[in-house]
Structure 1
Amino acid sequence: MFSLKGKTAVITGGGSGIGRGIAKVFAAQGADVKIVELNQDAGLAVCKEIIEAGGSASVHGCDVSKQADVVSLFNSIAKIDILVNNAGIAHVGRADTTSEADMDRIYNVNVKGAYNCLFAAIPLMKKNGGGVILNLASIVAIVGVADRFAYSMSKGAIYAMTLSVAKDYLADNIRCNSISPARVHTPFVDGFIAKNYPGQEKEMFEKLSKTQPVGRMATPEDIAAIALYLCADESSFVTGNDYPIDGGFIKLNS
């Protein structure tokens, strides 16, 4: 089950964190993985891991916020069966503490970047008879989380775009879903804690872990498992849905 053999999967931001986890799992299931990554060194490291494990992968340097570059890259790949819109950046701040420059930066990468990939991939999928799109949203698209104004805006847009794309391309055999993770233990989390809570890393990690009712953060592999299901043929009846992979955060917190 869940074989991706013969399929080409484009994964943006596949050089670290959730994207790395998804890239490795998809390659293990037989996909030819195309990692689209601004940090090419990170992408190359993941490709090396995949190839050494017997999989197929390549890295493609690209800034997803630049539409012409994305279109050119995707057209060169030509056959795209799966698109995972994972590339994104975070921001801490409220409406009155978020600068215009930071708001633009979050929008350009998280929202416009995802749109650019949709704009480039959908015509290719239509030409090839269909495909699957998976967008990485967040629980902040669904619930209010303090000090995440710009980030919440961007992930709310991802949530809404998922529904729109799923509706618009039903007749083209293109499915579109999203995943909304709670906290995921990635290098970003470790860096955030080290920067903002020096000397308190262990205590803060435990505190943030316990905000999920199950008592821990997700791993990239937790997210990759549901991503595999949503991009495999076994989920052919599933489109226009969001999946909160949140350790009970949304419904079990009190």
Structure 2
Amino acid sequence: MRFKPVITTLAVAVIFSSKLLAEPLADRNGDGLFKIEAFGDSITLGIGDNAGKSGYTGRLSTLLGVPVVNRGLAGEELAQGGLSRLVQVARSSESDSFIILEGVNDSIHLLSTEEYRRLLQISVNILHSMGKSVVLMTLPPPCCDHDGQSSITPGYSSVIRQLSQVNQTSLADLEMSWITTCDDIEKCHLYNLPEGLHPNDQGYQVIAQTIAAALLGIDIFSSEGVLQFEEALGLTPGEVLVKPLEIGE
């Protein structure tokens, strides 16, 4: 599906984003509810979750006490069908906020960072034009059997951070969560091993906590972030798996 150039520019992003930044948890469609839609590939779908909690979406719903609709599709690429599916999903959606996690499968086929940037910017523009707030997520670094992708995904994550800033979206930095939390980033315990691509139960909990903190405006990587997160959600000490960023990392 080809889109007109008018929605591909960063200028359009600034126009749409100004009113969507201040209240990421706001009821935008006036139905009296706040609902999140999670859009992505098999990681969003929840492949590898042995606890049966729908991956990060079920855990996020439990943390925040709001509905989270899972729109994950295994094997999806943003460049091959993902963008057109996003349009279809968004048009029929009553959700106020969209989470986007795309790029792992694009990295397998070596999609350039420039093309990834273009497609992701279009995705954000589409959602903002429909009045949806957006949460962008960086990509967890693959390892082990999927170590070959680790040379591509950091470039995508850099693009995601840049576009989050330009578009004034919430950012759930999963790459940082893996860096701070994995005991060994080259054999991370948050993955199903030795596969090294789909998170396990702990990994999905880390993703959910990272997203929830981003939506609440809490820097979970700061020295006080974990405590603030626990207090905000009434969690007991030790429930937060995400580790803060240590000085020097």
Could you say which TM-score interval applies, normalised by the shorter chain? 0.5 to 0.7
Question: Conserved in 2, the CA contact under 8 Å of 1:37 and 1:63?
Answer: no
Sequence identity (%)? 7
Question: Conserved in 2, the CA contact under 8 Å of 1:25 and 1:228?
Answer: no
Give yes or no for the alignment of 1:11 onto 2:27: no
State the distance in 2 between where 1:105 and 1:188 align: 27
**TM-score scaled by length of structure 1:** 0.51
State the distance in 1 between where 2:68 and 2:192 align: 23
Give yes or no for the alignment of 1:26 onto 2:27: no
Counterpart in the other structure of 1:191: 195
Give yes or no for the alignment of 1:36 onto 2:71: yes
Q: 1:115 to 1:16 in 2, by over 3 A?
A: farther
Q: 1:162 to 1:104 in 2, by over 3 A?
A: same
Give yes or no for the alignment of 1:220 onto 2:204: yes
State the distance in 2 between where 1:186 and 1:70 align: 28
Q: 1:64 to 1:146 in 2, by over 3 A?
A: closer
Q: Which runs of 5+ in 2 are unaligned?
A: 1-24, 142-146, 183-187, 223-240
Counterpart in the other structure of 1:118: 124
Give yes or no for the alignment of 1:88 onto 2:80: no
Counterpart in the other structure of 2:152: 150
State the distance in 1 between where 2:204 and 2:245 align: 17
Structure 1 position 218, deviation (Å)? 6.2
Q: 1:188 to 1:120 in 2, by over 3 A?
A: farther
Q: 1:221 to 1:246 in 2, by over 3 A?
A: closer
Q: What is the RMSD of the two structures over their aligned residues, measured on CA atoms?
A: 4.4
Structure 1 position 231, deviation (Å)? 2.1
State the distance in 1 between where 2:155 and 2:246 align: 18
Q: 1:90 to 1:157 in 2, by over 3 A?
A: same
Question: Conserved in 1, the CA contact under 8 Å of 2:103 and 2:153?
Answer: no
Question: Conserved in 2, the CA contact under 8 Å of 1:8 and 1:81?
Answer: yes
Equivalences, count: 175
Q: 1:72 to 1:35 in 2, by over 3 A?
A: same
Question: What are the within-5 Å matches in structure 2 for residues 174-253 of structure 1?
Answer: 175-179=169-173, 180-182=176-178, 183=182, 185-187=189-191, 189-192=193-196, 219-232=203-216, 235=217, 247=243, 251-252=247-248
AA at the equivalent of 1:122: H
Per-residue Cα deviation, 1:42-99 (whole angstroms, up to 9, x for no partner): xxxxxxxxxxxxxxxxxxxx7543333321221111x33222122331799xxxxxxx
Counterpart in the other structure of 2:138: 137
AA at the equivalent of 2:56: I
State the distance in 2 between where 1:30 and 1:3 align: 14
State the distance in 2 between where 1:73 and 1:30 align: 23
Q: 1:76 to 1:185 in 2, by over 3 A?
A: farther
Structure 1 position 23, deviation (Å)? 0.5
